Amino acid sequence: MAEMQAVIFDVDGLLLDSEAVYRQSWTEAAANQRFVLTHQRYATFIGQRIPWCEEQLAGLAGGDFDLGAFRAAWRVRWREIARQGVAPKPGARELVAALRAHRIPCAVATSSARPEAELSLAAWMADFDAVVTGDQVVNGKPAPDIYLLAAKRLGIDPLRCLAMEDSANGARAALGAGMTVIIVPDLVEPPEEVASRALCVLPSLVAAHAEVLRQLGIDQK
């Protein structure tokens, strides 16, 4: 396997503990219209583009569900929570700092739209050489578009990019782009058909730290 030259990160549920913020804001906004968004239903949205998820939820709710009101309500609630600060996942800042110290090109490829990404990442955006968001591509995850665009903006062959993902759909997108993938699950474990194609599935970014550096050929002595 070729030595990796760059790392591309998902954001929600991987770098940031923001998936829980999305779930809370969506659950509350759905409850405003007397629809119960269960954990199982929400789990089917993880790693997908937001417009698709909104439409799927409206289809599940049926009846007189007001999609426009739902969209407005969850965004207001999301921003209220996110402005208080979205916590990084354990090991996230340390891993990115180590990569920057070794001058490894880094990017993020998130299904979130640009405004949500800017708010949740805040000043941390400056640590990445490219930030690609879901509203910048035609086809969202699990299509490979977002990872291909991130690699293009870094100027690195996708085959030399290591992708870090928490969701099955995100992993499918990176695999479809020809990348080597490490999965660090957040709310849902990946199915075997995805896990078996990944380099490895690890419990945290802390646990992934040494493997990421190894894939980049960085001496850890």
Asked if residue 110 belongs to a domain, the reply is yes
Same domain membership, residue 156 and residue 68 = no
Above 70 in pLDDT, residue 1? Answer: no
Whether 12 sits among the annotated catalytic residues: the reply is yes
SS3 call for 152: helix
What is the structure's pLDDT at 48? 76
> Residue 43 belongs to what domain range?
19-82
**Percent of all residues in the chain with a pLDDT value above 90, rounded to a whole number:** 69
Whether 186 sits among the annotated catalytic residues: the reply is no
Q: Please state the rounded mean pLDDT for residues 165-188.
A: 95
pLDDT in tens, 111-141: 988 988 998 898 899 999 999 999 999 999 9
Cis peptide preceding 105, ω within 30 of 0:
no
Same domain membership, residue 13 and residue 91 = yes
Same domain membership, residue 104 and residue 61 = no
| pLDDT classification of 44: cutoffs 50, 70, 90 | confident
Report how many domains make up the chain.
2
Same domain membership, residue 206 and residue 124 = yes
Cis peptide preceding 142, ω within 30 of 0:
yes
What is the pTM for the complete model shown? Answer: 0.85
Q: Which of 10, 145, 166, 186 is catalytic?
A: 10
CATH code at position 139: 3.40.50.1000
| pLDDT classification of 172: cutoffs 50, 70, 90 | very high
Q: Please state the rounded mean pLDDT for residues 54-69.
A: 90
